[in-house]
């Protein structure tokens, strides 16, 4: 078990290293000269050269990369060209909004997806099962910003129940979370349904029934508990998809977070902020997956690691 954790950690370090290399290469591939962006179009070549030197851009690429990783290890993600402040503090200012929104979206998809999965598994091959399956397919095929737009139109404009976007508390969170919930729930509904159908065919379920346990007890104590394992895995690992979705939700609902930070940075070609956000979210995904994998060692005794 310990060797599994060590190996898993080793793999995560390799992946983190790869991520830093990818962001470095992309940032280097930018056609625009960062020094020129900082000093403006009118500055003399001498000043541009001076700034290039200050930024270390006149050094060989491998040296630049080593400096880049060294700074990353010290939590230095670079300095924004536009705000002229550390990217890390910009991310720090915006991360709260994104975390709040992401948690709300994540809960919404579980709250919609899990009960539907349990319900349809018990009514497999009935019309309601087919109807939910069809709806699930539509949910997966929906374009998140469009659904958000439609919900805003219906429930914030036509029926002014919710605010027309913006950052805020519960009232501001409901429509964005619902938007993400509707599109994301289908994955959980399908997964839970197929996993419940599989568990329902297991011997221990038959044993539970044979010893006279009530149907409610069989379903809740035996089937749902076991069928939830793959669902929990996906719910824990799918943070990358969640973050991508949340970026779109932020732009659609005018929510202040990392996604809107990155989008603003793109319109201003603020490369350090763009790359800093991408790197930060990727690292977040790796660490989160690592955490889920390691927690599993303790949670699920059936999984053997050797």
Partner 1 sequence: MSTVLPNGSLTQAAERKRGIGRALVKSIREYPMVYLGSFIVFVLIVVAVFAPWLAPYDPTKQFANGLTPDGMPVAPNHQFLLGTDDVGRDELSRLIYGSRVSLEVGIFATFISLVIGTTLGLISGYFGGVIDSVIMRLTDVVLAFPFLLLTMALVAVLQPSVTNVFIAIGVQGWGTMARVVRGQVLAVKSFEYVQAERAIGASTARILFRVILPNVLGPVIVLAALSVGFNILAEAGLSVLGIGVQPPTPSWGNMVSEGLLTYRFAPWMMWAPGTALLIAVLGFNLLGDGLRDIFDPRTTTHG
- Binding residues for partner 1, rule: CB under 8 A, are 11, 14-15, 18-19, 22-23, 26-27, 29-31, 124-125, 129-130, 133, 137-138, 140-147, 149-150, 152-153, 157, 190, 194, 240-241, 243-244, 247-248, 251-252, 262-263, 266-267, 269, 271, 274-275, 277-278, 281-282, 285-286, 289
Residue 199 to residue 206: CA distance in whole angstroms: 10
Considering the complex, state which of residue 232 and residue 278 has its C-beta at the smaller distance from partner 1.
278
Cβ proximity to partner 1: between 72 and 208 the closer is 72
User: In terms of CB distance, is 14 or 161 closer to partner 1?
Assistant: 14
H helices present in the chain, as ranges: 2-28, 34-39, 45-55, 61-73, 87-122, 127-141, 144-152, 170-200, 203-210, 215-217, 225-237, 239-253, 258-267, 271-299
**Measuring CA to CA, how many Å separate 48 from each of 32, 150, 229?**
13, 48, 57
Query: Is residue 113 within 8 Å of 188, Cβ to Cβ?
Result: yes
Q: How far is the CB of 221 from partner 1 (least distance, A)?
A: 26
Q: In the complex with partner 1, which residue's Cβ is closer, 83 or 288?
A: 288
Contacts of 118 (CB under 8 A, 6+ apart): 192, 196, 219, 224
How near is the Cβ of 256 to partner 1 at its closest, in Å? Answer: 16
- Kindly state the smallest distance separating residue 279's Cβ from partner 1, in Å: 9
Looking at the Cβ atoms of 23 and 79, the one nearer to partner 1 is 23
Minimum distance of partner 1 from residue 211's CB (angstroms): 30
Nearer to partner 1, 102 or 208 (CB): 102
In angstroms, what is the minimal distance from the CB of 217 to partner 1?
27
User: From the CB of 89, what's the least distance to partner 1, in Å?
Assistant: 20
Coil/strand/helix, residue 100? helix
DSSP three-state, residue 143: coil
What is the nearest approach in angstroms of partner 1 to the Cβ of residue 124?
7
> What Cα–Cα distance (Å) separates residue 220 from each residue in 126, 147, 198?
21, 34, 15
Distance between CA atoms of residues 192 and 296, nearest Å: 19
For residue 283, count other CB atoms closer than 10 A to its CB: 17
Judged by DSSP in three states, 201 sits in coil
Which is nearer to partner 1, 9 or 150 (by Cβ)? Answer: 150
Distance of CA 297 to the CA centre of its chain: 23
Nearer to partner 1, 147 or 185 (CB): 147
Cα–Cα dist 291/56, whole Å: 36
Residue 286 beta carbon to partner 1: minimum distance, rounded to whole angstroms: 5
């Amino acid at each position: 078990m310990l060797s599994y954790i060590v190996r898993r950690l080793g793999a995560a370090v390799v992946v983190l290293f790869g991520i830093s290399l990818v962001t470095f290469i992309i940032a280097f591939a930018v056609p625009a000269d960062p020094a020129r962006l900082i000093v403006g179009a009118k500055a003399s070549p001498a000043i541009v050269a001076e700034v290039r030197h200050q930024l270390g851009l006149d050094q060989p690429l491998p040296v630049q990369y080593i400096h880049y990783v060294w700074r990353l290890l010290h939590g230095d993600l670079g300095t924004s060209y536009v705000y002229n402040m550390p990217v890390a503090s910009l991310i720090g200012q915006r991360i709260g909004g994104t975390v709040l929104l992401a948690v709300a979206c994540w809960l919404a998809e579980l709250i919609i997806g899990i009960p539907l999965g349990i319900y349809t598994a018990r009514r497999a091959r009935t019309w309601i099962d087919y109807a939910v399956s069809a709806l699930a397919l539509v949910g997966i095929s929906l374009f998140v910003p469009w659904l958000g737009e439609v919900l805003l139109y219906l429930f914030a404009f036509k029926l002014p129940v919710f605010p027309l976007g913006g950052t805020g508390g519960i009232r501001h969170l409901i429509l964005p979370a619902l938007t993400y919930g509707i599109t994301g729930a289908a994955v959980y509904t399908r997964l839970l349904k197929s996993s419940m159908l599989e568990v329902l065919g297991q011997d221990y379920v038959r044993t539970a029934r044979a010893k006279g346990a009530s149907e409610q007890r069989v379903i809740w104590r035996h089937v749902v508990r076991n069928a939830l394992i793959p669902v929990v895995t996906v719910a824990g690992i799918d943070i990358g998809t969640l973050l991508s979705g949340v970026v779109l939700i932020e732009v659609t609902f005018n929510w202040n977070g990392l996604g809107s930070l990155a989008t603003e940075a793109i319109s201003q070609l603020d490369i350090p902020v763009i790359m800093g956000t991408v790197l930060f979210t990727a690292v977040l995904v790796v660490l989160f997956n690592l955490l889920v994998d390691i927690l599993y060692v303790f949670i699920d005794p059936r999984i053997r690691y050797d």
